[in-house]
Structure 1
Amino acid sequence: MLRTLLAALAVTFALALPAIAGKPATAPAAFLSQTDCFEATPDYTSWLASIPQRIEDRPLSRALVESLVPAKAFAFARSAFDCRIVTYASGEQTVSGYVVRPKASATARELPLLVYNRGGNGTYGRLDSLQVFLKLLPLAKAGYVVVASQYRDSDEFGGKDVDDVMRLIDLSLAMPGVDDGRIFLLGQSRGAMMSYMVARQRGDVTAMATIGGVSDLLAGLAWRPEMERVYRARIPGYDSNKQAALGTRSALRWAEQLPADMPVLLLHGEADDRVNVEDARAMADRLRQLERPYKLIVYPGDDHGLRQNWRAARTEILDWFKNAGPLRKGAK
């Protein structure tokens, strides 16, 4: 199962091998620190040694990692992309994240900003050096400046950690070579909730896409009651007002507050055992009722991570963002 998942993601990366050259871009001084993603692992051998032997409590063999990211791909990534691990201030918290972009081309054109919002909670689901190859670099290859927050350690599952994403966007828009007129949000699982909450607060998001995304935590809790352990541990004041805490984090309940001309793409596996596919269908129905631009794609038999259809899903996402301008104009 793990091999199937990572192999599907590897297909994504395999498509990401163009010829891009130039000098690396630098982040603004507002970042507290920025370190090259490969500073601690400058060669392939050291990078391989840094990859954990288990992922999500499943074994991850060295042979599998080498098949997903061979030495040639590692060398290419080092030459073609500027990848930074950054830290930044968000309120009183210091938050870490990634900034990944193709190295400057000869035209030095401005690139759109793509904000990837991860799933999970706390340390579970945090991005690591392998996921940089499998998730972030392919998006950067498509011509985006890709940023991703790890969220604060005191994760509130849609509370003040939303500010962490907002702050990262603002810092990223201040970087040279970033087009502040094209901002895209890609949220996976819990990251969809984060994306909706960010979009509600901003008027500059061009379009967003979700993968196995949650938009109704109240209905989701009834379907998957074990999530209450996460909510109780992370959401401030959860026990005193559960309905309000979950409603605030449920875009289905306030979809009319999303930007009216922001196209939303919803991708969901019909066999998802973590977020019910009915969540995506309900959100699509609500967007239809509001006459908002949207598209829902349900993949029969597929799971939470769309392992069987990851390549097709990635194409849908990139096409959605590429055509977001005309969609917005049509919605006005």
Structure 2
Amino acid sequence: MKKIILVITFAFSTFSAQATNLINDERIKDQINCFSSKYENYDSWRGFMENKYKKRSKSKEALSNQLSWFDSMFGEEEFNKYKKNLSCKVFTYQVDGNDVQGYVVKPKKSAKKLPVLVYNRGGNGQFGSVQFGSMMNDLFPIANEGFVIIGSQYRGSQYPGIHAKSVMQDEFGGKDVKDVTALLDYIPKIEGADPQRIGMYGFSRGGMQTHLALKQVKNVKAIATIAGATDLLKELNVRPAMEKVYTHRIPDYETNKVTELEKRSVINWVNELSSSVPILLLHGADDKRISANNSVELADALAKKNIPHKLVIYSKDDHDLTKNKDKANKELVNWFNTYL
């Protein structure tokens, strides 16, 4: 009798675990709810951030200012709205036999299957990795409009508190592009996702990742880039500090600098782009990290090749489109609603 109870208990536990997974694929490991631990409610998250701010605040006034910024950036009402409406999991998957971390966000309720967006983050290595705050700021508003979003942290990067075993390093547009393309295999296994309607978009370095990924996959119907670099070699004249990143990240960079940067620059292979995949380009006119000329010059090249596209330059705005975040989100939502 005890054995039967144990078997039933184990079977129920297994079923419950499967039922809570957003990706029903045995290759996916460690699907952990984003709204857990210190992110379970707004107060616990805010308390965690308050303790963090205290360590670097020189006065009570400075601490108060940081907390005021935090509340204005996020806010309890927005947090509760997204927790109510969205399901979010971080997970581990394998690429080239190594663990890579990813994340998936989707509306909890939908009467029909939803289009899927593959999101490519910016930064390099751990810098720019997708944490809860960036999810809430960049991903939740889009997912809440009726999209499933899946993305990669890229090899060698970790979500806070979750550790994956990997010896691979981010190559800034090298083998790490496989971390993006590998995700497409899991889209049919996402509950409520429509694998026939896939889009892709990327921010900053993620714009480069988006163009590179499309050289390897054929089932993406539309793309968008936000502050994307399209000519890395030319951009070095604007931001020479990126040389350190390239030297550290890109294999054989010092001996093959021009070749490696041109391989990563879509402006050099516009002829290879599909005329059936429309491209949205968003950029801040005052971007100090990646010049808006990257998007302007790519748009000119796309026009010459009759590749459908739209260019939006936000006057007096920065790399993160701080002043026009809501407008940029609407552009993204409208773009993918139109073409997916």
TM-score range relative to shorter protein: 0.7 to 0.9
Identity of aligned residues (%): 38
Matches within 5 A, 1:96-135: 96-105=101-110, 107=111, 109-135=112-138
Matching residue of 2:22: 26
- Please give the root-mean-square deviation of Cα atoms over the aligned residues, in Å: 2.1
- The separation in 2 between residues aligned to 1:87 and 1:53, in whole angstroms, is 30
Shift of 1:112: 0.7
Q: Which moved more, 1:296-305 or 1:148-157?
A: 296-305
TM-score by length of 2: 0.83
How far 1:290 moved relative to its partner?
1.0
| 1:87 partnered with 2:106 | no
User: C-alpha distance in 2, partners of 1:290/1:280?
Assistant: 15
Residues 1-332 of structure 1 mapped to structure 2, 5 A cutoff? 26-28=22-24, 29-41=26-38, 42-51=40-49, 52-53=52-53, 61-105=66-110, 107=111, 109-153=112-156, 154-324=169-339
**TM-score (norm: length of structure 1):** 0.85
Higher relative CO (Cα under 8 Å, sequence separation at least 6) belongs to 1
* SS of residue paired to 1:309: helix
Q: Distance in 2 between matches of 1:283 and 1:45?
A: 44
Is the 2:21–2:31 contact (alpha carbons within 8 Å) kept by the matching residues of 1? no
Maintained 8 Å contact 2:113/2:194: yes
- 1:40 maps to a residue whose letter is S
Range that drifts further, 220-229 or 193-202 = 220-229
Task: Give the Cα–Cα distance (whole angstroms) in 2 for the partners of residues 71 and 208 of structure 1.
Answer: 32
SS in 1 for 2:274: coil
For the residue of structure 1 that corresponds to 2:155, the secondary structure is coil
Q: 1:102-151: CA deviations, max 9, x gaps?
A: 1133x2x1111111111111111111111111111111101000112111
SS at match of 2:198: strand
- Is the 1:266–1:280 contact (alpha carbons within 8 Å) kept by the matching residues of 2? yes
Deviation at 1:76, TM superposition (A): 3.0
SS state at 2:123 partner: coil
1:16 counterpart residue number: none
- Secondary structure, aligned partner of 2:89: strand
Number of matched pairs: 299
Shift in alpha-carbon separation, 1:308–1:166, aligned structure 2, 3 A: same
1:163 positional shift:
0.6
Structure 2 CA distance, aligned partners of 1:141 and 1:234?
Answer: 35
Q: How many Å separate the matches in 1 of 2:282 and 2:68?
A: 31
TM-superposed deviation, 1:63: 3.0
The structure-2 alpha-carbon separation of the partners of 1:193 and 1:224, relative to structure 1 and needing over 3 Å to count, comes to same
Shift in alpha-carbon separation, 1:50–1:148, aligned structure 2, 3 A: farther
* C-alpha distance in structure 1 between counterparts of 2:74 and 2:205, whole Å: 27
Deviation at 1:323, TM superposition (A): 1.3
Match of 2:160 in 1: none
Structure 2: gaps (5+ residues): 1-18, 157-168
In 1, Cα distance between equivalents of 2:291 and 2:84: 41
Secondary structure at 2:134's aligned position in 1?
A: helix
Structure number with larger C-alpha Rg: 2
Does the 8 A contact of 1:206 with 1:324 survive in 2? yes
- Cα drift, residue 24 of structure 1: 6.0
Decide whether the 8 Å contact of 1:217 with 1:247 is kept in 2.
yes
CA drift at 1:277: 1.4
1:92 partner amino acid: G
Q: What CA distance in whole angstroms lies between the structure 2 residues aligned with 1:269 and 1:72? A: 28
